[in-house]
Amino acid sequence: QSALTQPASVSGSPGQSITISCTGTSSDVGNYNFVSWYQQHPGKVPKFIIYEDTKRPSGVSNRFSGSKSGNTASLTISGLQAEDEADYYCCSYAGSVTPYVFGTGTKVTVL
Amino acid sequence: QVQLQESGPGLVQPSGTLSLTCALSGGSISSDSWWSWVRQPPGKGLEWIGEIYPSGTTHYSPSFRSRVTMSIDKSKHQFSLKMTSVTAADTAIFYCARNPCSGGSCFSAFESWGQGILVTVSS
């Protein structure tokens, strides 16, 4: 079971929108509607921001949105703000025997 | 609001066994949830290690299956991780996390996390 593939880094200017991709396989991302996304600021605990591909937990800004097409899930951050500078990880359910696999992580830089 | 807190030795000898506990407060360990361990080597990404249900059912990542055991103690509202034959490559922050379920379906996501505990493998 290999880690899901994410770009190492993505950057954007304040106010812009950026999209982070998360590519898996037909055994994980493409087979279940259970991709989640986590935001992690340096030295901090990961924070849960998207679940079931597209749903936002209460309290998470609507500037964060999730989508999926085939074996690739995506996280879009619109109206980029300085506070969005962090590492982002996707995670997919991959079946009952070995349920979870994380992505490689993406560092978002606000220019 | 469920809170999780990891505890255990911060230093483990190479070839030894890493033992960690995650204590729950503000909720019941017997609730309909899966309880996971996730680790993060310094400067690297997140790795899912395994999960346990209140019934004792476990699932482990293939990467750790041969040397990891998870257990749950409902009377103490905690669950535990043991990892054997550790090497320096196992140095990491270890997090415990909760995947809540309801009505037969689970979030399949890690809704709550502990603060993490740094475990260093070194002599």
Residues of A with CB under 8 A from a CB of B: 1, 3, 32, 34, 36, 38, 45-48, 51-52, 57, 89, 91, 93, 96-105
Q: Give residue-wise pLDDT tens across range B3-22.
A: 999 999 999 999 999 999 99
pLDDT exceeds cutoff 90 at B75: yes
**Predicted pLDDT of residue B104:** 75
pLDDT in tens, B33-69: 999 999 999 999 999 999 999 999 999 999 999 999 9
| CB within 8 Å of B103: residues ≥ 6 apart | none
> Which pLDDT value is given to residue B28?
87
Nearest chain B CA: its distance from A10 CA (Å) = 16
Distance CA A98, CA A61 (A): 31
Q: What is the predicted pLDDT for the residue at A97? A: 82
Q: Quick check: A86 pLDDT over 90?
A: yes
Establish, for the pair of chains A and B, how many residue pairs have beta carbons separated by less than 8 Å: 68
Read off the pLDDT of each residue in B74-85 and give the average, rounded to a whole number: 96
* Tens of pLDDT, residues A9-54: 999 999 999 999 999 999 999 999 999 999 999 999 999 999 999 9
Cβ distance of B110 and A45 shorter than 8 Å: no
| Residue B122 burial (C-beta neighbours within 10 Å; 0-12, 13-18, 19+) | exposed
Residue whose pair of structure tokens reads 């300085």 in the numeric block: A82
Average pLDDT of the segment spanning A54-65: 96
User: What are the backbone dihedrals phi and psi of residue B76, each rounded to the nearest 5 degrees, phi first?
Assistant: -105, 5
Residue B27 has pLDDT above 90, yes or no: no
Please tell me which of the candidates A93, A96, A105 has its beta carbon nearest to residue B45.
A105
pLDDT, residue B1, reads 80
Question: What local confidence, expressed as pLDDT, does residue A96 receive?
Answer: 84
Chain B positions touching A97 (Cβ under 8 A) are 59
Identify the burial level of B45 via C-beta atoms within 10 angstroms of its C-beta, where 0-12 means exposed, 13-18 middle and 19 or more buried. middle
Percent of chain A with pLDDT over 70: 100
